[in-house]
Structure 1
Amino acid sequence: MIVLKEMKSCCKDVLFPYIKENVQDYLRLHWEEEECQADICQLRKQAEEDSNLDGFVPIPLDSGKGADDVAHAIQAVVNNVQWQMSQDRKTTALKQLQGHMWREAFSAGHVKGEVYGDVVPAIRKWKKAGKKVFIYSSGSVEAQKLLFGHSVQGDLLDLFDGHFDTMIGPKVKSESYRRIAESIGYSPENILFLTDVTKEAKAAEEAGVNVAVVVRPGNAPLTDEEKSHYSIITSFSALCLPLLL
């Protein structure tokens, strides 16, 4: 059984910039809607938890319903979102808002998901061999399904047997991988986790999960110690079927 980190080449260049460029307009358009207010509530709770962090951006409680009050409140949320993204935060509150924005963007055809060219052929080969494939991403389950359901290669959701996000736990905590194993009914030693982040690889390994680190253009360079410690692949096609669990 294989658990994959979200396999995308478009988040950094397309999806994240879309959030930064459009979050203010999105909030203005949807401010009074229940879903948007729920997102803001979660962001405000996260901001309270972040109050001890350097440079954190607060989101005050609404002070009124006038146009100036709303504009001030929206700007506070925008500032917080921009700060979290500048710090590469992966909080559930941030990912929830991003997922809702991406849902609108994908539905309108403004953006499409992209995956590396070797991904789809490799997964189809694994599936044909009877392997189950799951996604574990810092992006929300909803965002994952949007990305793979509206890709430039069509609807790819049939490739996956399930999805996990940070609701199961942080990706750098070993307990998260134990929870995934329990949830899908596999022992950790029968799971292979593919990721491009060594902190995630370390956490999965501590949980007893097998790990391979995927090296892609633009990724953070690996240390000599990491290169010698982890199994390294540069393409999903380089993962030999006999090695899959």
Structure 2
Amino acid sequence: MNQDQNDNDDDDDDRSSLLNRMPHCTSFCPNIHFNGHCHCSVLSSMLSTKQDDQSIDIRIECRHTNASILMTDIENLASCNSTINLLELSVKDSNLTHLYNLPSGLYNVQKMFLDNTGIDLETIRESQELLKSLRVLRISNENFTEIQRNLFNGMEELKELSLNKLGMAYINIEAFVSLQDSLTLLELRSNKIRTVPTAVQSLSHLECLDLSGNDIKSVTDGNTGIFSSGLRRLKRLGINTMNCSCEFGKSKFATWLRTHGIKGVQCAMPERFLDKDVSNTAIEEFCEPWPNSNVRIESNLKQPKVIMFDISGTVARESFVEKILQPYFKIAYQVYMDNAWNKQEWQDCLRQLSIVAERDMKAPKIELTKEKSDIIKEATKYIEYCLENNHEPKAFVMFRFLVWFDGYERNKIKTPVYSDVAVTMKRWKMDQNIRLYVLSNGWKEASKKFMSDTSHGDLNAIIDGHFDNSLGSLENVETYIKVANLIQEKPGGDQILFLTKSPQEGKAAQNAGFNVILVLTRTHAVDEAMEICQDIPIARSFTDIEFI
């Protein structure tokens, strides 16, 4: 064997030795898991190849791992006399807080994913030259309040950039200048951005921009200018759903979406446009008149002292309970039973569940003298029995509220309030000094919780009080008289305005001396309402309601 061959064998031995002693990657068979933390795989080539020009391309994916050891191993890859290329790195739920420089072993990396690592942006800035081969960079669940200029200098090959769930509120106008000729996808989801960032204007090759889940309430004409002047290749835009009123349909933003066929922007209101793509909707559709010519808002409605409203179907989507609350309960109630075991309200409710189960001949029983795990199993069987049989005794209903309330407290649930409702309510309260009350068929404590964490923040801050049907049926005149007495306003005149989706409730409130407007978004609901009460005005949304 000649010396060259010996050198080649030594190189392969060094390479094999390094791979075999990496704490995270003790073998290089594809798709093998190591130590329960890291997953290493070969992207191309095979370790057994003995050719000088043959390289090994690898991927490392780690979670809950020792970051310092991992980074040391990556550094060793670069210093080893071998052709091992780390092309993809994914690190999740691992502490990179004290990492000041990325290891030189990343010099060939093309895709990098960092999720909940605590990495500092300066670490990325200091490694710009090292990351010059990067094609995809995805960072999420970190704490970056702002993106400064020149952060991505040296990454001129970057095609896809995702900066999601970072708490980011500010982006420097020159943050993306170095990416203007390369970047095709930019995600800035679920941050704290309040307006369309001017920095995106330089991205002339961008095809997809996602700004959804931010604090962007509307898109102004100036924002539209940012899109139209720079993003000539844009095909898809993700942003919060819009209130697709006639005014919106005529806006420069909607016109730009239609003219350029930009997909992705959807309507939230009115409900007949729910989830409809704006780019496919003509102005005439947004501005078409109501099917019944009698549907209108009185132009001489005086400003009231008090406005009352229900939640479901008036302030929030009527499907909120069915599509959000009920599915959440089904996946969360068992976890709640365990996590809330020592809470008094859960123990009280558990005793009531045991009592009602005992009274039901067909129901599974809950024996409270058993061990915790056994009690939870029996309680789970009883809840499943109630769900399967559509059986809702008071104890079950209370348990469901406990699970929902826990979901709100842990930020697992938000009430999807119509955007026009939140804006209009704040104007009524702050600018016009109108008192606001919830009058609901549901339990008032639930109404309070539902309004405490909405898609537009804590609306209880502007709500003066909550009432429910413990005062009586909302279809009875006497109930409204009781409510008027409680808020110290006399029914009659223009003191109190009641907003509801129910014609029956509206008629009762009207007979008690309240002004009433039916807030309806669906054509069939309008037709049904007109058969019951033709003398009550109807609005599509809160923005239709104006006072003299």
TM-score for both structures, normalised by structure 1: 0.73
* Residue 13 (structure 1) aligned to one of 313, 323, 334: 323
Distance 1:95 1:156, change over 3 A: farther
Letter in structure 1 aligned against 2:329 = I
CA contact (8 A) 2:383 2:396 kept: no
Offset at residue 107 of structure 1 (A): 1.9
User: Deviations along 1:4-63, whole A, 9 cap, x unmatched?
Assistant: 11111244421232224433543455467431244456778999xxx9xxxx99878755
User: Deviations along 1:122-142, whole A, 9 cap, x unmatched?
Assistant: 112222222111012234333
2:541 matched to 1:225?
Answer: no
What CA distance in whole angstroms lies between the structure 2 residues aligned with 1:73 and 1:40? 8
* Residue 162 (structure 1) aligned to one of 453, 460, 465: 465
Corresponding residue number in structure 2 for 1:214: 519
What CA distance in whole angstroms lies between the structure 2 residues aligned with 1:43 and 1:198? 37
2:489 matched to 1:183?
Answer: no
Moved more, 12-21 or 93-102: 93-102
CA contact (8 A) 2:365 2:378 kept: no
Distance 1:130 1:201, change over 3 A: same
Residues 1-245 of structure 1 aligned to structure 2 (within 5 Å): 1-6=306-311, 7-9=315-317, 10-27=320-337, 29-30=339-340, 33-39=343-349, 62-63=366-367, 65-66=369-370, 71-80=377-386, 96-127=398-429, 128-189=431-492, 190-217=495-522, 220=525, 222-223=527-528, 224-226=530-532, 228-242=534-548
CA contact (8 A) 1:59 1:73 kept: no
Distance 1:77 1:200, change over 3 A: farther
Distance 1:69 1:153, change over 3 A: closer
Moved more, 160-169 or 178-187: 160-169
Letter in structure 1 aligned against 2:499 = L
Letter in structure 1 aligned against 2:460 = L
User: Deviations along 1:45-91, whole A, 9 cap, x unmatched?
Assistant: 999xxx9xxxx998787555336676445433444366558xxx8x9
Q: State the secondary structure of the residue aligned to 1:23.
A: helix
Higher RCO, 1 or 2 (CA under 8 Å, sep at least 6)? Answer: 1
User: Deviations along 1:81-134, whole A, 9 cap, x unmatched?
Assistant: 66558xxx8x97666444322221122121222211111221122222221110
What CA distance in whole angstroms lies between the structure 2 residues aligned with 1:218 and 1:39? 42
CA contact (8 A) 2:368 2:375 kept: yes
Distance 1:179 1:71, change over 3 A: farther
What CA distance in whole angstroms lies between the structure 1 residues aligned with 2:541 and 2:467? 23
For structure 2, the residue ranges without an aligned partner over 5 or more in a row are 1-305
Corresponding residue number in structure 1 for 2:277: none
Q: Which of the pair is proportionally richer in helix?
A: 1
CA contact (8 A) 2:367 2:378 kept: no
Offset at residue 178 of structure 1 (A): 2.4
Distance 1:230 1:96, change over 3 A: farther
What CA distance in whole angstroms lies between the structure 2 residues aligned with 1:234 and 1:193? 15
Letter in structure 2 aligned against 1:236 = F
Letter in structure 1 aligned against 2:542 = F
Moved more, 117-126 or 12-21: 12-21
CA contact (8 A) 1:57 1:83 kept: no
Distance 1:207 1:92, change over 3 A: farther
Q: State the secondary structure of the residue aligned to 1:133.
A: strand
What CA distance in whole angstroms lies between the structure 2 residues aligned with 1:37 and 1:208? 45
Distance 1:178 1:45, change over 3 A: farther
What CA distance in whole angstroms lies between the structure 2 residues aligned with 1:114 and 1:196? 17
Distance 1:83 1:33, change over 3 A: farther
Letter in structure 1 aligned against 2:420 = D
Letter in structure 2 aligned against 1:226 = I
Distance 1:185 1:139, change over 3 A: same
Moved more, 177-186 or 68-77: 68-77
Identity of aligned residues (%): 27
Moved more, 15-24 or 133-142: 15-24
Root mean square deviation, CA, Å: 3.7
Q: State the secondary structure of the residue aligned to 1:182.
A: helix
Moved more, 162-171 or 117-126: 162-171
What CA distance in whole angstroms lies between the structure 2 residues aligned with 1:22 and 1:219? 35
What CA distance in whole angstroms lies between the structure 2 residues aligned with 1:124 and 1:241? 15
Distance 1:201 1:125, change over 3 A: same
Distance 1:2 1:103, change over 3 A: same
Offset at residue 153 of structure 1 (A): 1.9
